[in-house]
Structure 1
Amino acid sequence: MARLDHNGDRNCPPEPIVELKGISKSFGNTVILDQVDLTIYPGDALGIIGPSGTGKSTILRLIAGLLPPDSGEIYIKGQLRQGLIEDNPDPIGIGMVFQQAALFDSLTVDENVGFSLYQHSKLPHSEIRKLVEESLERVGLGGSADLYPAQLSGGMRKRVSFARAIIAHPEDPSHSSEILLYDEPTAGLDPIASTVVEDLIRDLHVGQKHCSCGTYVMVTHQDSTIRRTTDRVIFLYRGKVQWEGTVRELDHTDHPLIRQFRTGSIEGPIRAAG
């Protein structure tokens, strides 16, 4: 199926940023992913939804190179990944925003956001500090560099984790994130804080105005986050992609899994947990 390019022309599909081909993953005797195929194109705002425990976060960790598949192949910009990200660098940077922000409580915001640069680059401290402050400005947290995570609200901690994911790497631009992976970025936030984070996600990516990363993948259960931050959605259940479509199609499809998930009914093909 042809896709519309950024000029509105219907051409051959662009080169995918990420391709998962026949990916399977088990933990013990539990099959999490079963022969999953997934393609992510430049400019995608892709949502991965489905019941808890169906492998959504596992897919993110596989894409990020933090977890190896049991079988199948992962291609990053057409290159077959060999091993984990620590074994061989990808041709592009892939950033991940974890559900719990994953900040170091003993470090300042500055040290958290610039952690990779402080540890691994040869840039002077003053230059890294400048890059940190620029990244914090992009997420609306200018002036917070010397605070500690304990001094921040939940929503602010999430935004600090965004700043860390998008910080520039001038010594090696390939480490700057071209694609971001969000794992439940609005989990645990009140509706107002969720809206702030959702708007920020769109602002960071639309048109790549503030960030080099114009592509992202979002794992979420939150209805507002699905609708406000994603364009295309896949539904995972029992280790397989059961449905794919646009956010608009979520409201109109008669697919029984989507209908049950959308309404929250305990009646239907999805087994209620607990």
Structure 2
Amino acid sequence: MSKVIIELKGISKSFGNKKVLDNVDLQICRGEALGIIGPSGTGKSTILRIIAGLMEPDSGEVYIEGVKREGLIEDRIDGVSIGMVFQQAALFDSLTVEENVGFLLYQNSKLPRSCIRKLVNEKLDMVGLSGTGDLYPSVLSGGMRKRVSFARAIMSNPDNPKQGTEVLLYDEPTAGLDPIASTVIEDLICHLQSIQGAWGSYAIVTHQDSTIRRTTDRIVFLHQGKLQWQGRISEIDNTDHPLIRQFMSGNLSGPIQVAG
């Protein structure tokens, strides 16, 4: 069995009177491609933010390589470096592509600008965006903006190799993209995992059928704040679990209530 690198135990989180996560246990293993699926509003993005250290749970514990995390990401350094790709790319529109991708290095390292620019160009080449460093996000397509956010997420500081990204978290990376652009992003996710070294493990939140099938090897299903089902992607079409059957078929009839 692969080594567990991130583990959530008894995680609960509420916003006002709405409990979005209710005593959830979850593991991410080294080399794993984990899909987190379920209806909208069931805490999938929230769980990514808790894993990333951007949000604290109301109760429960987060372990990174067996060490209990205390506080948020700005309060400590985890033993595993985690990068996150947000649903809307979350780029700074006033900065160029190069400045977006190299933002953390420009802000927090003593590297010369020429060195940072070289590192940025390497990452842009990895995501298929060579020659775009001087462009602004406003002139890019939705798929290109997503790829810029990928390049930013995998940026590391050569002066501190321990800061290299080891786990990537993707929040709806193909949302709003046409089928061809989605295929490009799905291929890129698989490509980054195949590269030897930093990006071998990831968790991805998605509703899109092709993304579920092409980018994951294990699935967990969240509904009403609880982890209702988990299994290999190969099991998803054969399970008799009513929630999975309804979700994957898009059927209006079933235990998942459809909002009016």
Q: Where does residue 15 of structure 1 map in the other structure?
A: 3
Does 1:238 find its partner at 2:260?
Answer: no
- Aligned-CA RMSD value: 0.9
Q: Where does residue 254 of structure 1 map in the other structure?
A: 240
Secondary structure of the structure 1 residue equivalent to 2:129: coil
Q: Which letter does structure 2 place at the counterpart of 1:93?
A: S
Secondary structure of the structure 2 residue equivalent to 1:177: coil
Q: Which letter does structure 2 place at the counterpart of 1:167?
A: M
Which of residues 22, 25, 32 in structure 1 aligns to 2:20?
32
Does 1:60 find its partner at 2:39?
Answer: no
Count the aligned residue pairs: 260
Does 1:128 find its partner at 2:116?
Answer: yes
Structure 2 unaligned spans of 5+: none
Does 1:263 find its partner at 2:211?
Answer: no
Question: Mean Cα displacement is larger for which, 166-175 or 119-128?
Answer: 166-175
Q: Where does residue 145 of structure 1 map in the other structure?
A: 133
Q: Where does residue 180 of structure 2 map in the other structure?
A: 192
Q: Which letter does structure 2 place at the counterpart of 1:169?
A: N
Question: Mean Cα displacement is larger for which, 53-62 or 84-93?
Answer: 84-93
Secondary structure of the structure 1 residue equivalent to 2:213: helix
Structure 1 unaligned spans of 5+: 4-13
Query: Partners of 1:72 and 1:31 in 2: how far apart?
Result: 14
Which of residues 197, 213, 237 in structure 2 aligns to 1:227?
213
Which of residues 86, 99, 111 in structure 1 aligns to 2:87?
99
| Post-superposition CA distance 1:119-170 (Å, at most 9, x none) | 0100000000000000000000011100000111110000000000011211
Does 1:217 find its partner at 2:203?
Answer: yes
Secondary structure of the structure 2 residue equivalent to 1:116: helix
Per the TM alignment, residue 92 of structure 1 is displaced from its structure 2 partner at its CA by 1.7
Secondary structure of the structure 1 residue equivalent to 2:149: helix
| Post-superposition CA distance 1:96-127 (Å, at most 9, x none) | 00000000001000000000000010000000
| Post-superposition CA distance 1:186-236 (Å, at most 9, x none) | 000000000000001000112x33x51200000000000000100000000
Q: Which letter does structure 2 place at the counterpart of 1:143?
A: G
% identity of equivalent residues: 69
Runs of 4+ in 1 over 6 A off after TM superposition: none
Secondary structure of the structure 1 residue equivalent to 2:99: helix
